[in-house]
Each structure stands twice: as structure tokens, then as C-alpha cells.
């Protein structure tokens, strides 16, 4: 008798779980119009919203005076796990103090090797680097994937600490 009750209980439980599964998918089917998550990508380029935390590629933040916050400390270069950053520094004489100061000549970024791990952005002490929301980064030539991040003619902002 006990085994028969167990058997019948099993059947009813089975049907119950089947029904609860069907309820979930049924809800999605009948509400598919408002729940659909597919984005029809090339058609919606104008209205496409890129999330803030999206990692497109590394950029150096420049303000309106074409000034950046990078003093060439090479922390990003050291943090990079696969060597896709090469900071070429230079020394100039500060006219106010007469001391020699380190500035960057070229902040070279090899996008072809980058895994977009965000470690360089985290390592930067002066928040000079950031990730932008660019996509469609494919190019036909590998050389086009090497960027110099500091814009031509840019210089370091005044209040950046050493």
C-alpha cells in the first residue's frame, strides 16, 4: 500500500513539475513582444546604447585644452599581463624649479594584443586611462591596431602629482 501511494505521489509530482516548467516558457511565449532581448544590430545603429562599463578599447582621457593626466609612471605597462602597452618617456627641464621632470613622449598601445582586462585602467594612479565604448574595431591591416594614446600636441595637466 505504501509503495502504491509513493508511486501515485511520484506521478502527481512529476506532472506538477512539468506544468511549472511550462508555465515559465508559456509566460515568455505569450509576452514575447515586450520581453524580446534580441537587438537587430546593423539596423539600429542610430539608437544603439552602449553600456557605461562596456570595454571597447583603451583610450587616454584628454580635456578640452588637449591636456591629459599621464605623467609616464609606467604603472600601466607593468600591470599589463601581455605587454600591449609601451610607454616611451622623456625628460624636460621645469622652468620654475630648474629640476628635470619626466613626461611621456608616446604612450603606445598594441590593440592587437590587448585582452581588454581593464588592469591598466585600475593600475593608473592618476586616472589617465579609460575604456571607451567603441565597437566595430576590426581592420584589414595589423599595423592599424597600434595606437599612440596621447594626442599630438597634448601635454600634462598642471595639478597631476608625481
Partner 1 sequence: MNAIYDFSILTAWIHQWLSGLMEPTAVMITEMVIIGTILILFVAAMGLVLVLAERKVAAFFQLRLGPNRVGPWGILQTLADFLKLLTKELITTKSADKFLYNLAPFIVMITPFLALGVIPFAPGLQIMDLNIGVFFITAVSSMGVLGILIGGWASNNKYSLIGGMRSAAMVVSYELSVTLAIMTMVILTGTLSMSEIVNSQADGWWIIKGHIPALIAFIIYLIASTAETNRGPFDLAEAESELTAGFHTEYGGIKFAFFFLSEFVNMLIVSSIATVIFFGGWMPFHLPFEWATGFNHIMDFIPGIVWGFGKVTFIIFLMMWFRWTFPRLRIDQILNLEWKYLLPMNLINFLLMSLIALTGFYL
Q: Which residues bind partner 1 (CB under 8 A)?
A: 11, 18, 21-22, 24-26, 28-29, 32, 35-38, 40
Which lies closer to partner 1 via its Cβ, residue 18 or residue 139? 18
Q: Residue 79 CB: number of other CB atoms within 10 A?
A: 16
In the complex, the smallest distance separating the C-beta of residue 31 from partner 1, rounded to whole angstroms, is 9
Query: Which residues are within 8 A (CB) of 54 and not within 5 positions of it... i.e. 6 or more apart?
Result: 131, 133, 135
Nearest of 125, 117, 136 to residue 48 by alpha carbon: 136
Nearest of 51, 63, 58 to residue 123 by alpha carbon: 58
Helix (H) or strand (E) run with residue 18 in it: helix 2-30
Which lies closer to partner 1 via its Cβ, residue 14 or residue 125? 14
In the complex, the smallest distance separating the C-beta of residue 24 from partner 1, rounded to whole angstroms, is 8
In the complex, the smallest distance separating the C-beta of residue 10 from partner 1, rounded to whole angstroms, is 8
Which lies closer to partner 1 via its Cβ, residue 4 or residue 92? 4
Which lies closer to partner 1 via its Cβ, residue 38 or residue 100? 38
In the complex, the smallest distance separating the C-beta of residue 109 from partner 1, rounded to whole angstroms, is 37
What are the angstrom distances between the C-alpha of 26 and each of 22, 30, 39? 6, 6, 22
Amino acid at each position: 500500500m505504501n509503495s502504491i501511494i509513493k508511486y501515485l505521489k511520484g506521478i502527481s509530482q512529476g506532472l506538477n513539475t512539468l506544468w511549472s516548467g511550462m508555465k515559465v516558457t508559456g509566460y515568455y511565449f505569450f509576452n514575447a513582444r515586450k520581453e524580446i532581448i534580441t537587438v537587430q544590430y546593423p539596423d539600429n545603429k542610430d539608437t544603439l546604447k552602449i553600456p557605461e562599463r562596456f570595454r571597447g578599447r583603451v583610450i587616454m582621457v584628454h580635456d578640452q585644452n588637449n591636456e591629459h593626466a599621464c605623467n609616464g609612471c609606467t604603472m600601466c605597462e607593468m600591470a599589463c599581463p601581455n605587454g600591449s602597452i609601451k610607454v616611451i618617456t622623456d625628460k624636460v627641464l621645469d622652468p620654475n624649479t630648474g629640476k628635470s621632470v619626466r613626461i611621456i613622449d608616446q604612450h603606445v598601445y598594441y590593440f592587437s594584443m590587448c585582452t581588454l582586462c581593464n588592469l591598466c585602467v585600475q593600475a593608473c594612479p592618476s586616472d589617465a586611462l579609460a575604456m571607451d565604448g567603441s565597437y566595430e574595431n576590426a581592420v584589414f591591416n595589423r599595423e592599424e591596431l597600434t595606437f599612440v594614446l596621447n594626442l599630438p600636441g597634448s601635454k600634462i595637466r598642471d595639478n597631476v602629482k608625481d
